[in-house]
A and B are shown apart, each in its own frame.
Chain A
Amino acid sequence: MASISSRRLQKELKEIKTEGCPVGITLLEAENFDKWLFSIEVMGESQYQGEAYTLMFRFPPMYPIESPAVQFVVDQTHQSPVHPHVYSNGHICASILGTDWSPVLSVVSVCVTLQSMLASCKKKERPPDNDQYVSRAPDNPKKTRFHYDDDTV
């Protein structure tokens, strides 16, 4: 039997294909129900004007009861946006990806939240503990217990 996640993701994918994504968000790859890639661009005036970042979703079989693992792609050709809540390895400190996840959220709603997190950024800088975190970070950002200490950006 198809897992819970594949049934729900099938519906989300169909909606993305028929209705499209919000402006600035583009589906890059959804070949299976384990991993999807999106491109995120901040529209209008912002610190990230003209920049595009790749967001990777990895889905556990119990999605959406369980939250997806979401991070920016960092490799030879991709970088993570410089933002106080985004580590240089692509990991993101955002409460909706952790303790504030809700199963009524969706892939697109997460993309929109992260897009507006970038849009509201006043100053491009890394989290203060970036180097320390990146040196010992697990592969899966869900294994990190982030401390959400700032809800202004």
Chain B
Amino acid sequence: MKVTVKHWHAVATWRWDTGTDQQTIDEEGDVCGICRVPYEGCCPSCKMPGDDCPLIWGECSHVFHMHCLLKWIGTAASKQQCPMDRRTWVTAERKVAPTR
């Protein structure tokens, strides 16, 4: 039998590589601790997820929507601290994890 493919639809999903494995994500859900929206969603100020609403990594290993974290760091009340561990926020160089 000979099959000729005439037409095909490519479907893809994406997610930010937060260094968390898929199983943990399925169990706990991966949301921004500030707005509680999934990392792959966007912060409350944005309409479209993706490169326009990226994540930000701290040296302390905590991850947030960049816009959420910057709103917090922009307040005097934040004392420039990570919302999770209250250590001084230092944005981490993005380490590119090896592709699985």
Contact = CB atoms under 8 A, between A and B. Distances in A.
B partners with A: yes
- Secondary structure of the A side of the interface? loop
- Secondary structure of the B side of the interface? loop
Contact of B34 (A65, A100, A101): A65
A13 to B, nearest CB: 11
Interface in B75-100: 75, 77, 81, 83-84, 86
Given A65-B72, A104-B84, A8 B36 contact: yes
Interface string A41-72: 00000000000000000000010111100000
A4 B45 contact: yes
A11 interface: yes
B36 A103 contact: no
Contact of A104 (B37, B71, B83): B83
A67 B33 CA distance: 15
16 contacts: A2-B44, A4-B45, A7-B44, A8-B36, A8-B44, A11-B36, A11-B37, A64-B34, A65-B72, A67-B77, A99-B77, A100-B86, A101-B77, A102-B83, A103-B68, A104-B34
Interface of A: 2, 4, 7-8, 11-12, 62, 64-67, 99-104
